[in-house]
Structure 1
C-alpha cells in the first residue's frame, strides 16, 4: 500500500520542505488524519507523543494557508491559525517543527509562552502580519486581555494534548480562548489527546463540528530493556539511597522527578553541594535558563537533571 507524502496533493512549497526533511512514509496517525483534514474536516485523534501528530496538524494548516492566501486587507495581531499546547516545552517543539515546514514560504510564525518578557514577545506583532500562532493558554490570555491578539479571524484551531490541558487545570482558559474565536462551524478544529476520557470527548463535542475520530493504538509503554525497581524507604533515608544509586550504578545520565518546585530546589542544592553536575527544571526558572540547562544536559556538561513531574 502506498503511504508516502507524494500521494497527497500538497502545495509545492510545503512539499519542498517535506522533501528537505527527508520525510518519505507517513506515520499511521498522519496517514489516517491527513485524509480528512486536508479535505477540510474537523478531527479528534488519539495519539501519543512521538507518533507524528505534530507534523499531521502542521501539514494540514500550512497547506490550507498556502492554498488560500488572504486577498483583502489584513490587520496585525490577527493570526489565521492557532495551536494551543499545555507546556512551554511542547509549544517550543511545535514552533521548531513549524519553522522547518514553512522555511520555503512567506508564512509568519509566532510562539507565546510564559517565562519570556512580554514586550519582547510583542515586538514581532508590530513588525509583521501573523499567520500561525503557537501558545500556552495563560500567556495567550495575557495578550488577548492587553488587546495585542485578536482571534476573530482564526481559520484553524488545534488543541494539542487535551488530556494534559485537563490535568493541568487549563480548560477554563481554553474555554475563554475558544469563545474569542469564530463559531465551530466557521473554523476547522483539530484536537489530539493521548487518552479519550469522558471529559476529553465532552470537550470535543463542544468545540468540534462533525469531527472524524482517529485512534492509534498506543505502543507498548514499557520497553523490555528497561529494568524497573521500587524502593520502599523512609523519607529521612531517601537522599542517602539516591547517593548510593548514583555512586554504585553505571549511569550516564539521570532524570529525577519531584512533585513540587521546593523539592526540586532542595534536591538540586544538596546534590550541587556534594559535587554532582546537576541542572534543574521547574516553573520558577526563567525560560532562557531552562533552555540553557537542557542544552547543558544534552551536551553532557550536567549529567543529572531534576524536574517537576509536570
Structure 2
C-alpha cells in the first residue's frame, strides 16, 4: 500500500518532487490538497466518485473523513418512574385464629414477593413451622402437598440467607442452602417457587435434575454464585463427585418428602450427601414427610438437633375441600367408566392415578385413540417430555394426565377439577396425597375412586385414616355403555 502525503505535511527534496509528479501523471490524479473547512469553497478540480473512494486511503495528521451532519434528535420524554413498593402497600388486618406474614420479622424484599403472590394469612403448616425455624431451630413437619409447606421452608431459607452475611471467600459451586427432593417434577416446582419468592433479592436459585442436559446445568453453575440449590439425590451426587459442587458452606438443609425418598431407595445417596455438609449442630435442618413412620423418625433423629415437631392432620386436607365418591365397578368396566365420565361431562383438567406403569400406559393410549387428549407421567417418560406435558396440562391443551404415585408427587397444577383413582392405592396415605391434587388453596374439587375386585380391599384402611366412611355406590348405567369407535 502507498501512503501519499501533501507537501505541506512533509518537505520534499528535488528527487522526491520528481517522483511525485511522475506518479500524478501516471494515475492522472488532481493534486492532493488540504480539505477546505466546512462552509468554505474547496480548491482543485471537482471531486469524482473515484476521488471520494481514494479519500479513504489518504491519512494526514489534520485529515478526518467527512461525516454527514446528523439532525439533533428531539429530547426523549422521561419514562414515568414507578413508585417504590413499601410495606404499607401490603395491608392485612389482624384476625383471631389467623397468623399473618406481618407477624414475623421478614425482609421487605421477601414481603414484596409474598404480596405479589396474593398471600395474606399463613396456612397452619406455615404458621407453625415459621414460628420455630425463624428462631433457628430444626423442624420436622408432617403435611400433605397443597398445605403450603414449600413456601414455609422457602421463607425460612430466604430469611436466613438475607440476615447472614455472605462469606467473603466462596466458590461458584458452594450453595448456602440445599433442598433435596425425590422427583424431578417436585424439584422443578420448588425451584420455580423459590425464584418467585427471591424475585426482589440478589439470591440465585439453581436446580439439578437427572434427564436434563448435564453440560447446560454445569454452564449455569459456572456463570454465577449459587445461593439456593434444589436437586434430586442422584444428579447432586454426580456434580459433587466431579468436584463441581461443594457442600461445606450449607447453612440450611431441607429434605422434602422423606417418606417417598425411603420408598424409592434414595436414603443411601442422601446419607452420602449429608456427610458432605457441615455437622448437624452447625446447620439448620428441616425435614418434611407425608407420614411419620418409625423409619422417618429414625432419620430425623440422626440428622436434626432437638427439632420442633409440626403435624398437620391429613384428614383436614382430604375432607374439607374435596367431594369424595367411590364407584363399585368390575375391572373390565373401569375404562369405559373413565371414558364416559370425562367425555359426557366435558371435563377439561383431570388427573387419573394408577398403581402400575403398564396401567398408566394403557389408559393414556386408549384415551388418545378415543379422541380425548391425554398424556402419561411415569418414570419412563424423559424429563424434557415431562416438562412439556405439564405445561400442556396447565394450559388446558391436555385434558387428562395419567400418573403413578411416584410421578404424581411432584405435580403442582392449579385448577384440577377432578381426580380419578383408576386403581385404589395400597398405601392409605397415597390416597390422601392423590386427592390433594384437587381442592387446592381453598377451592373445591371432586375425587372419584374405582373399587374393583382387585383393589377394594384397600378401602377400609383409607377410611380409617380419614376417620369416616366413604359411601360406595354403583355407577349409573349410562356411564357403562361401550365406547363407540370409528373403525
Instruction: Give the TM-score of the pair, scaled to structure 2.
Output: 0.59
Pair 1:217–1:288, CA change in 2 (3 A): same
Match of 1:39 in 2: 135
The CA distance in 2 between the partners of 1:238 and 1:19, in whole Å, is 45
Pair 1:224–1:60, CA change in 2 (3 A): closer
- Structure with bigger gyration radius: 2
Listed as ranges, the matches of 1:64-103 within 5 Å are 64-103=160-199
- 2:299 is matched with which residue: 171, 180, 203? 203
Pair 1:31–1:92, CA change in 2 (3 A): same
Question: How far 1:258 sits from its partner (Å)?
Answer: 3.0
- 1:49 is matched with which residue: 139, 142, 145? 145
Listed as ranges, the matches of 1:1-310 within 5 Å are 1=96, 3-218=99-314, 219-222=316-319, 226-234=323-331, 238-240=334-336, 242-248=338-344, 251-310=347-406
The CA distance in 2 between the partners of 1:50 and 1:224, in whole Å, is 12
Q: Is the Cα–Cα contact under 8 Å of residues 210 and 232 in structure 2 kept in the other structure?
A: yes
**Deviation by residue 1:274-301 (Cα, 9 ceiling, x = unmatched):** 3332212122222232122222223332
**Deviation by residue 1:53-92 (Cα, 9 ceiling, x = unmatched):** 1111111111111111224211111101001112122211
| Relative contact order, higher structure (CA 8 A, sep 6+) | 1
Question: How far 1:224 sits from its partner (Å)?
Answer: 7.5
Q: How many residues align?
A: 309
- Of residues 143-152 and 297-306 in structure 1, the stretch that sits farther from structure 2 once superposed is 297-306
Question: How far 1:239 sits from its partner (Å)?
Answer: 4.2
Pair 1:6–1:251, CA change in 2 (3 A): closer
Pair 1:187–1:249, CA change in 2 (3 A): same
Alpha-carbon RMSD: 2.2
- Of residues 291-300 and 135-144 in structure 1, the stretch that sits farther from structure 2 once superposed is 291-300
Q: Is the Cα–Cα contact under 8 Å of residues 177 and 252 in structure 2 kept in the other structure?
A: yes
SS of equivalent to 1:158: strand
Q: Structure 1 stretches of 5 or more lacking a match? A: none
Question: How far 1:227 sits from its partner (Å)?
Answer: 4.5
Q: Is the Cα–Cα contact under 8 Å of residues 147 and 317 in structure 2 kept in the other structure?
A: no
SS of equivalent to 2:113: helix
Question: How far 1:246 sits from its partner (Å)?
Answer: 4.6
Question: How far 1:248 sits from its partner (Å)?
Answer: 4.9
Instruction: Give the TM-score of the pair, scaled to structure 1.
Output: 0.91
The CA distance in 2 between the partners of 1:76 and 1:220, in whole Å, is 41
The CA distance in 1 between the partners of 2:275 and 2:339, in whole Å, is 51
SS of equivalent to 2:323: coil
SS of equivalent to 2:375: strand
The CA distance in 2 between the partners of 1:265 and 1:37, in whole Å, is 42
